[in-house]
Amino acid sequence: MPEPIIEVNDLRVDFPSEDGTVHAIRGVHFDLFPHEVFGIVGESGSGKSVTSLALIGLLAKSATATGSIKLNGEELLGKSEKELTPYRGKTIAMIFQDPMTSLNPVYTIGWQITEAIQAHQSVSKEDAKKEAVRLLEAAGISQAENRMESYPHEFSGGMRQRAVIAIAMANSPQVILADEPTTALDVTVQAQVLDTLKVALRETQASLVLITHDLGVIAGLADRVAVMYAGRIVETGTVEDLFYRTAMPYTHGLLGSIPSVDDTGQERLRQIPGAPPTMVGDVQGCPFAPRCPLRQATCFEVEPELVKVTNSESSAFHTSACHFANDVTLMPAASMFTDTSSADESEKTI
């Protein structure tokens, strides 16, 4: 196995809030290997965005992060803003969710890409500009030369996200973090932007941490996936592990809530009843237990550790935080959430 680029160990992030301390991340572990696409899925508030911000050191000042984030063996956590600057954009680059707000409205697209290039490369202004045009072209913007002088408000959402991807590519980083890169875009544009992302990965040879709630995107792009719930990773493995040998009822729930093309129309869209817990105060037991169809008494008492799934077909990466992980792998996904008590609630939904 190659050396991981990023090793995250027992990462915890707390935020102060009016109602008390919010435990946004409660002990996350994962490794990121070269040239892989690592997907992180979860609902809003599961901690997936916070994880990506922690990786690049952009958490809000009020947040406290503990644990360890190692980049090529070097500890990043606890480094000052100044000490992190050489890594940002150079080793790790980031793509944000909403391209409508992530470009500075008062500068031209060209200026913003050139700035990223000159942040880490000592090249002349002309060369930086030439490189910027090349990056824009690579990101799929036609007539890039003319587009350099455009302001963000003159670009469509898809074009802006391409420009953001061009910025991320600027210094051929080892890691690109993409936080819901297509969520804010029109469905028709989403696929194009994902293709651009693939081009960027090919160009830079970077690994991608892809944060999304869209399992379709994961299936199409990711090598390995982590499912986050209530600030922890509750299941991780290869895409095949998660889709075909699901070892956590919550993952089942997520899979069940995507409508599939071959739905007959008779079936209801299955949903997970209830809502994720607020992250204030301590958690006792499995945080998913109140919503879980398989809950037992122990689920409310002991929070399950993330342990290897021993299903014979599972890959070496497959882990799950469920007391009954191996039993879950044997269950057909379709049956789990259909006949729950909230059947009438789901009727309203559709």
Partner 1 sequence: MLRFIGKRLVMSLGVLWAASVLVFIMVANSGDPLFDLKMNPLTPKASILYREHLLHLDKSIPERYWIWFTGVLHGDFGKTLHGVPVGPQLFTHMAVTMKMVIPALLLAIVIAISLGVYSATKRGRWQDKGVTFTSFLFLATPVFVVGLFLKFFVAIPIDQHFQKVILSTAGDSSPTATGGFFQRIPDMLSHMTLPTMTLVLAVFSSWVIYQRSTVLDTMDQDYVMLARSKGISKRRVLVRHILRNALIPVTTVIALDFAGLLGGAVITETVYSWNGLGLWFLNGVNALDINVVLAYLMFTATTVIIFNLLADLAYAVLDPRIRYS
Partner 2 sequence: MSINFGQAMSDVPMVDIDNSGLSEEIHGQWRMALRRFRRDRLAMFGLITFLTILLIATIYTFVNPAGWSELTTSFNQPPSWNHLFGTTGSGLDLFSACLKGAQQDVIIAFVVASISMVLGTIAGGVAGYYKGSIDAVVMRFVDLLLVIPLLAILIVLSRIFAGSGNSWWMIAILIGLLSWTYIARLVRAEFLSLRERTFVEAATALGAGGRRIIFKHLVPNAIGTIIVNTTLTVSGAMLLESTLSFLGLGIVPPQVSLGMLVQEGQDSATTQPWLFAFPAGMLLVLILCVFFIGDGLQNALDPRKSRSRA
CA distance readout (Å), 302 to 232, 282, 305? 15, 13, 9
Q: Is 174 in the site for partner 1 (CB under 8 A)?
A: no
Q: Is 167 in the site for partner 1 (CB under 8 A)?
A: yes
Q: Is 116 in the site for partner 1 (CB under 8 A)?
A: yes
Helix (H) or strand (E) holding 123: none
Q: Is 103 in the site for partner 1 (CB under 8 A)?
A: yes
Task: Supply the Cα-derived Rg of the chain in whole angstroms.
Answer: 21
Residues that bind partner 2 (CB under 8 A): 15, 18, 22, 24, 43-46, 49-50, 53, 59-60, 63, 213-214, 253-254, 257, 269, 271-272, 275-276, 278-280, 345-346, 348-350
* Dihedral pair phi/psi, residue 184, rounded to 5°: -85, 0
The packing angle between helices 187-204 and 157-169, to 10°, is 10
Contact residue for partner 1 among 32, 164, 194, 239 (CB under 8 A) = 164
Q: Which of 331, 144, 142, 347 is nearest to 251 (CA)?
A: 331
CB 97 within 8 A of CB 180: yes
* Dihedral pair phi/psi, residue 37, rounded to 5°: -110, 115
Q: Is 18 in the site for partner 1 (CB under 8 A)?
A: no
Q: Is 207 in the site for partner 1 (CB under 8 A)?
A: no
Residue length of the chain: 350
Q: Is 90 in the site for partner 1 (CB under 8 A)?
A: yes
Q: Is 122 in the site for partner 1 (CB under 8 A)?
A: no
DSSP symbols for 187-233? HHHHHHHHHHHHHHHHHH--EEEEEES-HHHHHHH-SEEEEEETTEE
Q: Is 88 in the site for partner 1 (CB under 8 A)?
A: yes
Piece of 104-112, 127-135, 295-303, 336-344 that binds partner 1 (CB under 8 A): 104-112
Residue 23 in tokens: 């435990």
Q: Is 93 in the site for partner 1 (CB under 8 A)?
A: yes
Helix (H) or strand (E) holding 244: helix 239-244
* Dihedral pair phi/psi, residue 11, rounded to 5°: -75, 125
Q: Is 79 in the site for partner 1 (CB under 8 A)?
A: no
Q: Please, what is the minimum distance in Å from the beta carbon of residue 234 to partner 1? A: 27
# chain residues binding partner 1, by CB under 8 A: 34
Q: Is 288 in the site for partner 1 (CB under 8 A)?
A: no
Closer to partner 2 by CB, 263 or 301: give it. 263
Which residues are within 8 A (CB) of 111 and not within 5 positions of it... i.e. 6 or more apart? none
Closer to partner 2 by CB, 74 or 345: give it. 345
Buried b or exposed e, range 9-44, using 16+ CB within 10 angstroms: eebbbbbeeeeeebbbbbbbbbbbeeebbbbbbbbe
Contact residue for partner 1 among 56, 144, 165, 201 (CB under 8 A) = 56
Q: Which of 187, 209, 170, 276 is nearest to 55 (CA)?
A: 209
Closer to partner 1 by CB, 72 or 326: give it. 72
Q: Is 338 in the site for partner 1 (CB under 8 A)?
A: no
121 binds, among partner 2, partner 1, none (CB under 5 to 8 A by kind): none
Piece of 84-92, 204-212, 233-241, 247-255 that binds partner 1 (CB under 8 A): 84-92
Which residues are at the interface with partner 1 (CB under 8 A)?
56, 58, 61, 81-82, 85-90, 92-94, 96-98, 101-106, 115-116, 119-120, 151, 153-154, 164, 167, 170-171
